[in-house]
């Protein structure tokens, strides 16, 4: 497996994900956030079930079910609860900038749980990108479509914490299962999770389905829940978790440009300077020499196949933590 294919998959995933902030913001201007999330989960799950033989694995280890549940609870479940509320309080552009915190969060988690190690230069770059995100967020001002940007950006940060838990869990599970199977699990669990939330008193069920916002929901289901997640999960299976998540730093610029072109959003001069800082951090953090690093610490070699038993040594800590649960079963 060459470095170019996961690089291309992750770049395309970020292009789709960058557009998701704009599509989500456009949809929640008409529909309740819970309605939007459930609809995208339901549509993507239905499409996955139509091609069940394509992604269904031959077997699933009982112990791995707990990791899958944790993965799906982190994202899409809790992730979309936080992000759906965040996009009612802040702009798509600023939410996209806050998403750049994900590589730092993943790097910390992957260091403890997967044994992945970053160079000093990569840490400096990731922290610089994080500083740029904070700069952009704190210089935001309240508008009609973003009444409480600081709170909205905080909720988006909570969503990124969930995304970090999902990324590390996905990296572990990709050693044994197809990325598309794991993507289908996300959609199926997400559908079950969000269905009861439709009946909460606080959820505003739609009375009409305007064409534009409805098409945005369909795009989120097909283009993002299936396309972007599938490509991202594939990239995670081929690269260290922190390096795959570092591509998330491409999202802010994409979401900013699309927010400007489609929703009429704009960034002030201080925020544009923050964007430049984020870009500098992204460039500094990356280690592009991917070839020949299959033996790097924490790297899962996907070519062993979905039945491979070998796991990186640091994952033994996670396996031991789950052992009491398995014995009770």
pLDDT digits (tens, 9 = 90+) for 203-237: 999 999 999 999 999 999 999 999 999 999 999 88
Higher-confidence residue of 97 and 190: namely: 190
Domain that holds residue 265: 4-53+60-198+212-287
In a domain, 174, yes or no: yes
Higher-confidence residue of 314 and 24: namely: 24
Q: Residue 312: is its pLDDT beyond 70?
A: no
Q: Tell me what pLDDT residue 271 has.
A: 66
In a domain, 302, yes or no: no
In a domain, 253, yes or no: yes
Domain count, the chain: 1
First to last CA, the chain: 38
If you ran DSSP here, which 8-state letter would residue 259 be given? I
Tokens 């994202």 identify what position?
Answer: 75
Q: Residue 260: is its pLDDT beyond 50?
A: yes
Higher-confidence residue of 23 and 260: namely: 23
Tell me the residue length of the chain: 329
Q: Tell me what pLDDT residue 322 has.
A: 38
If you ran DSSP here, which 8-state letter would residue 97 be given? H
Q: pLDDT of 5-44, one tens digit each?
A: 888 999 899 889 888 878 888 898 899 989 999 999 999 9
Q: pLDDT of 106-153, one tens digit each?
A: 877 877 777 777 677 777 877 777 777 677 666 656 566 667 877 888
In a domain, 313, yes or no: no
Average pLDDT of the chain, as a whole number: 77
CA distance 169 to 172: 5
Would you state the structure tokens that stand for residue 11, as one six-digit string?
A: 């770049």
In a domain, 320, yes or no: no
Asked whether 176 and 319 are in contact (CB, 8 A), the reply is no
Higher-confidence residue of 309 and 127: namely: 127
Largest Cα–Cα distance of the chain, in whole Å? 58
In a domain, 31, yes or no: yes
In a domain, 113, yes or no: yes
């Amino acid at each position: 497996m060459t470095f170019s294919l996961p690089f291309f998959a992750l770049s395309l995933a970020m292009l789709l994900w960058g557009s998701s902030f704009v599509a989500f913001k456009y949809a929640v201007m008409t529909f309740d956030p819970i309605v939007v999330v459930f609809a995208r989960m339901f549509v993507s799950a239905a499409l996955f079930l139509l091609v069940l033989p394509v992604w269904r694995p031959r077997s699933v280890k009982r112990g791995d079910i707990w990791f899958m549940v944790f993965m799906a609870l982190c994202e899409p479940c809790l992730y979309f609860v936080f992000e759906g509320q965040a996009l009612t309080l802040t702009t798509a552009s600023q939410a996209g900038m806050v998403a750049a915190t994900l590589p730092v969060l993943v790097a910390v988690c992957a260091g403890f749980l997967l044994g992945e190690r970053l160079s000093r230069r990569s840490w400096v770059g990731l922290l610089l990108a994080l500083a740029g995100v904070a700069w952009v967020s704190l210089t935001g001002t309240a508008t009609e479509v973003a009444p409480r940007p600081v709170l909205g950006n905080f909720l988006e940060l909570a969503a990124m914490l969930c995304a970090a838990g999902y990324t590390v869990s996905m990296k572990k599970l990709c050693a044994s299962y197809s990325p598309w199977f794991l993507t289908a699990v996300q959609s199926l669990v997400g559908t079950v999770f969000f269905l009861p939330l439709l009946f909460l008193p606080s959820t505003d069920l739609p009375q009409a389905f305007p064409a534009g916002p409805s098409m945005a929901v369909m795009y989120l289901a097909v283009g993002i829940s299936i396309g972007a997640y599938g490509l991202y999960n594939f990239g995670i299976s081929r690269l260290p978790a922190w390096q795959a998540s570092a591509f998330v730093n491409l999202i802010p610029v994409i979401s900013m440009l699309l927010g400007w072109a489609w929703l009429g959003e704009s960034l002030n001069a201080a925020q544009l300077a923050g964007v430049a800082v984020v870009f500098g951090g992204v460039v500094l953090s990356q280690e592009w020499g991917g070839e020949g690093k299959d033996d790097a610490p924490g790297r899962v070699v996907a070519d062993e196949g979905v039945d491979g038993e070998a796991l990186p040594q640091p994952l033994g800590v996670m396996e031991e933590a789950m052992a009491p649960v398995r014995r009770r079963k």
